[in-house]
Amino acid sequence: MTAKRTHPPRGAASACARVIAILSLGLAAQAVQGAPAGAGSAASAAAPASATATSNAPATASAAATDSQALILRGKYLAVASDCIACHDGGKNGAFAGGKSLATPLGAVFATNITPSKTHGIGNYTEAQFARALREGVRADGAHLYPAMPYTAYAKITDEDVKALYTYFMYDVAPVDKPIPTQTALPFPFGVRASMGVWNALFLDDKPFVVDPKEDAVIERGRYLGQALAHCATCHTPRNALMAEDDSRALSGSSMGTWFAPNITPDRQSGIGDWSTEDIASYLRTGRVEGRAQAAGPMAEAIDHSLAHLSDADIHALALWLKSVPAVATTGGAPANAAKTPSQWGSPSHYADTVRAVPVPGDRKLWSGAQLYDAYCASCHQAQGDGANGLPSLIHNTAIGRANADNLVMVMLEGIQRLPDTNGVTMPAFHHLLSDDDMAKLGTFVMQQYGNPGGAVTPQRVAELRQGGAPSPLLPLARWGMGLGAAVVVLLLAWWLRRRKRRAA
């Protein structure tokens, strides 16, 4: 399959103007980014063939080198917008060297080396092979990738942006000639990568992104960023029984096994319908909006590695697009028909005088949720739950105002980590200090005291989240189906042999 695509003609002059405006927004956003270290030398020493020139044409050579450097810069910005580093970071082995374990309901998938190494990376890929891997989930050797790599979203990336990404990875990323420590080995039958061909035939929408000339150019830029590069639906859209995105409930919230990606549609009760455009933009840029939310887990990673580095124009476009998508009501936000939105729940607590007036039991198993909070949380979040010295308030906090308490539990288990060069709030993990019962009592107290009064945390759910989430029913179902299929084949074969024997007699 060729990497090039044919887009439908635009027709009217006004439509062309909107397309040009959207492309201009994208190029302007990429132009504000600084040149990557060594970009000039990379472009001149290892530039694509189109950038070479003969020695008797210095002006042409200079212009070609400038074009190549601009393409590399554009590709770098697109790689940041696509958050490639979040999964493919190789730690001490180097950027994009892979090896990171990505938890899925079917087992761990290990990110591959996507540096231009010719022995262990993608250094031998042609642009067409790169495009096929990116947009169809098929490696150069013909093996299928798993959709933990969001090629279902990257399928919408334009040819021009694929070219820029390819140029950046091949000519500016340092090659790492090391294999990833562990190869992906999912349990049978999902370990047979060829099965993904069937899955792709059923669920992969490989239609390219097409600008709608009737829509606002800025919103269309945001739609391209959100649907293709930033792949918002990968986490925030619920999945069906075969783990494909359910587009009828797009962006309405989904469990990632442990962390819960909330509803980000404009539904007022369960989504972000009461957020202003600036609220959304500020959250995407910093991971925090006072009186609403602060980022943790995978969303904090996405902000630190990707969204915080986008231009103001692109962040604004994303925010406008999110305000424009269809609202989807779900039960994962405020209770049905609630008068308050998730960020409106909560009021200051006055538990301290009562709790501190009585002795704390010597056995921590006998501590109440209030006593656990007073011992482990009040020093930062304060007794009344309103925070202090820049630490977030628990009052009017969506993590506590939603009916789904998974993110509250995950924060207690894993804490909040942010990159050193950000101003994000951090928090220590308590998984080694508090038992499942402790966390259930503490979580229920926090929700009912400072947030959603109908919320509760159970020890059983804490135990599941501590172990990586509930097991997927897909694996036993698939094996049962294969067993049933094999039994049918055996019965048909036995019937055929018996019939043949009777005829011979």
Gap between the Cα atoms of 479 and 183, Å rounded: 23
Residues 135, 161: contact at Cβ < 8 Å?
Answer: no
Q: Is residue 120 one of the residues assigned to a domain?
A: yes
pLDDT at 377 over 90: yes
- Of 183, 203, 223, the residue that ends a domain is 203
- Between 104 and 176, the higher pLDDT residue: 176
- Of 203, 230, 247, the residue that ends a domain is 203
Gap between the Cα atoms of 463 and 470, Å rounded: 9
Specify the pLDDT at position 59.
66
Q: Is residue 376 one of the residues assigned to a domain?
A: yes
- Of 466, 481, 498, the residue that ends a domain is 466
Reported confidence tier of residue 351, pLDDT bands at 50, 70, 90: confident
Q: Which helix (H) or strand (E) holds 498?
A: helix 474-504
Q: Is residue 290 one of the residues assigned to a domain?
A: no
pLDDT at 2 over 50: no
Give the chain's largest Cα–Cα span.
Answer: 95
Specify the pLDDT at position 346.
86
pLDDT at 279 over 70: yes
Q: Is residue 413 one of the residues assigned to a domain?
A: yes
Specify the pLDDT at position 134.
97
Backbone torsion region of residue 115, taken as left when φ is above 0, otherwise alpha when ψ lies between -120 and 50, otherwise beta: beta
Specify the pLDDT at position 67.
83
CATH number, position 424: 1.10.760.10
- Residues of the chain with pLDDT > 70, as a percent, come to 84
Specify the pLDDT at position 424.
78
Instruction: Report the number of distinct structural domains present in the chain.
Output: 2
**Rounded to 5°, angle at Cα 480 from 476 and 486:** 145
Gap between the Cα atoms of 300 and 493, Å rounded: 56
- Between 59 and 316, the higher pLDDT residue: 316
Tell me, rounded to whole angstroms, the distance of Cα 494 from its chain centroid. 50
- Residue 278 CB neighbour total at 10 angstroms: 11
pLDDT at 29 over 80: no
Specify the pLDDT at position 482.
60
User: Could you tell me which of 95, 74, 82 has the C-alpha nearest to residue 307?
Assistant: 82
Domain that holds residue 129: 13-203
* Residue 241: half-sphere exposure toward Cβ, Cα within 13 Å: 6
Specify the pLDDT at position 497.
76
Q: What stretches of 106-254 show up as alpha helix (H) in DSSP? A: 127-136, 151-154, 159-171, 195-203, 217-224, 233-236
Maximum average pLDDT range among 26-35, 283-292, 316-325: 316-325
pLDDT at 404 over 60: yes
User: Could you tell me which of 261, 259, 299 has the C-alpha nearest to residue 412?
Assistant: 259
Specify the pLDDT at position 397.
92
pLDDT at 34 over 60: no
Specify the pLDDT at position 495.
76
Mean pLDDT across the stretch 282-299?
94
Specify the pLDDT at position 478.
61
Q: Is residue 334 one of the residues assigned to a domain?
A: no
Reported confidence tier of residue 421, pLDDT bands at 50, 70, 90: confident
- Tens digits of residue pLDDT in 305-342: 999 999 999 999 999 999 999 999 987 555 544 678 88
Specify the pLDDT at position 347.
86
User: What residues are paired with 245 via a beta bridge?
Assistant: 239
pLDDT at 58 over 70: no
Gap between the Cα atoms of 374 and 352, Å rounded: 8
Specify the pLDDT at position 64.
73
pLDDT at 168 over 90: yes
- Least confident among 37-41, 78-82, 170-174, 366-370: 37-41
Specify the pLDDT at position 17.
41
Q: Is residue 275 one of the residues assigned to a domain?
A: no
Residues in the chain: 505
User: What one-character DSSP code corresponds to residue 467?
Assistant: T
pLDDT at 51 over 80: no
Q: Is residue 244 one of the residues assigned to a domain?
A: no
Specify the pLDDT at position 331.
74
Q: Is residue 490 one of the residues assigned to a domain?
A: no
Gap between the Cα atoms of 177 and 117, Å rounded: 5
